[in-house]
Amino acid sequence: MRIRTLKPWFFLLPALVIYLFDIVGPSLYTLYLSFFKWNGVAPQKEFVGFSNYAYLLLNDTVFLHALKNNLLWTVGSVVVITTFALVLALMLNQKLAGRVFFRGMFYFPYVLSGIVVAMMWRWLYNPTQGFINGALEFVGLGAWALPWLADPRLALAAVFIAAVWQGVGQPMVLFLAGLQTIPVEAYEAATLDGVRPLQSLWHITLPLLRETSIIVLATTIISSMRVYDIIYAMTGGGPAESTQVLTSWMYYQTFRFANIGTGSAISWSIVLISLCVVIPYLYFTMKRTNA
């Protein structure tokens, strides 16, 4: 009887060991390092307690700017990416010619590496040879041709557009999967009752997509908090630190400036902020769903 009880744990053990050594162990070691001042080379580490966290909040202006950018990126991702993904899913859930092709076309950017996407969009934004400025000049809107990635006022929005192009495919597929679980009979009954399409969307589709929406929003928030590759490859956090986010600033502090403790503190700040956002959202959403 004891062997039968322990049998499931034997199957879980390999994955559990890998998870402990690759995720939990390094995470706890990073938390440990965040309480020290260390350059990664010296044999001794200087214990400083919460000084690294205090420095980030009180003295590091780039950290605060990166935090603001991360919050803007998260809000933009939740509003723009999820809304756009839902609209695409609703359109491609209809019986349209070529809908399989368009599903693949919109999902394809998601499977590309962030570095590849960054290189593509850097060329598109090139001020002299890029497609965007060239197209604007071709149609007589040369005054709108701007240095998209060199202007601190435009750079973050320009990178975000590239991220939307890449990231909309994954939530679109999740919404499509959720839409296909909704029984057709619900829409047929609504049509017989004279319900209009917008009313059907509001009272049938969105409520029945609630569980899918929880997954989409949670994954979108987490992804937005750890965005790194597309920003680093397109702007490197510039110009004038205007596109720095927490992950890119963590990289600079850790590997460029050799402030291992400060970089570790930033990484755990990302974890804490993500938990503070995602856990209450999941708690109240699941509570309302199960009510």
pTM across the whole model: 0.89
Mean per-residue pLDDT pooled into runs of 10, the chain (291 residues): 74 89 92 94 92 94 95 94 94 86 92 93 92 92 90 95 95 93 82 79 86 89 91 93 95 94 95 85 69 57
Cα–Cα dist 184/68, whole Å: 44
What integer pLDDT is reported at residue 155 of this predicted model? 95
pLDDT at 195: 76
Domain edges within the chain: 81-290
The pLDDT, as a whole number, for residue 196 is 83
Exposure string (b/e) for 156-193, b if CB count within 10 Å is 16 or more?
Answer: bebbbbbbbbbbbbbbbbbbbebbeeeeeeeeeebeee
Give the domain 81-290 fold.
Answer: MetI-like fold (1.10.3720)
Q: Report d(CA 77, CA 143) in Å as an integer.
A: 29
Which has the closest alpha carbon to 244: 71, 79, 34, 120? 71
**How many other β-carbons are positioned within 10 Å of the β-carbon of residue 236?**
15
pLDDT of residue 198: 81
